[in-house]
Chain A
Amino acid sequence: GAVVSQHPSRVICKSGTSVKIECRSLDFQATTMFWYRQFPKQSLMLMATSNEGSKATYEQGVEKDKFLINHASLTLSTLTVTSAHPEDSSFYICSAEEPGRRRGAFFGQGTRLTVV
C-alpha cells in the first residue's frame, strides 16, 4: 500500500480562491518533504523543500506567497495555492524521504488542480 498519501487527487476551484493539498507519510516520520509541479507532457519541477518545524526552502522562481507550505508535524506537509488563477492549473506531487533509506523518496499519488 501507499506509504505517502496525497489528498485530494483532483480538485477544481474558481479563480481567486485558495486550495490546500495535503501530503502525509503513513509509515514513517518525514522531517523533509518535497513538492513538485508537473505540466502536461513535461518533467517534475521541484518547487520547494518542506522542513518540519521551520520555513520551507523554495526553488528559484517559485513565489513563496503564492504557494504556502506548512510542515507542522513529522507526518504532514500542506501546500496551499493562494488566490489561484488558471495558469496555476497543473499536477502537483509530493514526496517524502524515509530516514536512512537509500532507495529514494516515496511519492504521493499527485493532485490534479484545475482552476476555472
Chain B
Amino acid sequence: AQKITQTQPGMFVQEKEAVTLDCTYDTSDPSYGLFWYKQPSSGEMIFLIYQGSYDQQNATEGRYSLNFQKARKSANLVISASQLGDSAMYFCAMREGGTGGFKTIFGAGTRLFVKA
C-alpha cells in the first residue's frame, strides 16, 4: 500500500509568488517523521524541512514551511517568494518509528517549474 502520496506530478509558479506542494501519508505508527527534499537535475538530495509527529507547531525553515494537518494526515510544503533556483523535483518522505535506524520512504515527487 502506498504510504506517501503526492498527487501533483508537475506545478508551475510565477517567480516571487508562493506555491504549495501537496503530500498525504498513511501510517499506524504514532511516532513518525515527515520530510521534504529537493532534488535538482544534478541528482543530489537536499534536505529542506522536518516535522515530527509530536511537534505541536508547524515547522519552518527560511522560505519553507510545512503545513502539518495531523488528523488529515497531510504535510504540505509551502515555498514562499519562489525563485528561479527553486525549479527542481520535490519529494515528500516519511520515517516511521523513533530516531535513527528506521527507513525513510518517498512519495512519487512533484516537479516544480518557476517562471520568470
Contacts and interface: CB of A to CB of B under 8 A. Distances in A.
Given A43-B108, A44-B91, A112 B43 contact: yes
Contacts of B101: 31-32, 97, 99
B86 to A, nearest CB: 18
A49 interface: yes
A34 B91 CA distance: 17
A107 interface: yes
Q: Of residues A91, A93, A104, which shows the largest number of chain B Cβ atoms within 10 Å of its Cβ?
A: A104
Contacts of A91: 43
A104 B50 CA distance: 7
Interface residues of A, number: 27
Q: Of residues B95, B103, B106, B109, which shows the largest number of chain A Cβ atoms within 10 Å of its Cβ?
A: B103
Contacts of A38: 43
B12 interface: no
A115 B36 CA distance: 31
B103 A34 contact: yes
A100 B101 CA distance: 10
Interface in A64-116: 91, 93, 95, 97-105, 107, 109-110, 112
Contacts of B19: none
B100 A103 contact: no
A105 B91 CA distance: 14
A44 to B, nearest CB: 5
Interface in A13-43: 31-32, 34, 36, 38, 42-43
A8 B64 CA distance: 32
Contacts of B44: 107, 109-110
Contacts of B37: 104, 107
The 5 closest A-B CB pairs, nearest first, are A107-B45, A110-B43, A32-B101, A44-B106, A103-B50
7 contacts: A43-B109, A44-B91, A46-B104, A91-B43, A97-B102, A102-B50, A104-B93
Given A42-B109, A101-B100, A104-B47, 6 more contacts: A31-B101, A49-B103, A93-B45, A99-B99, A100-B99, A103-B47
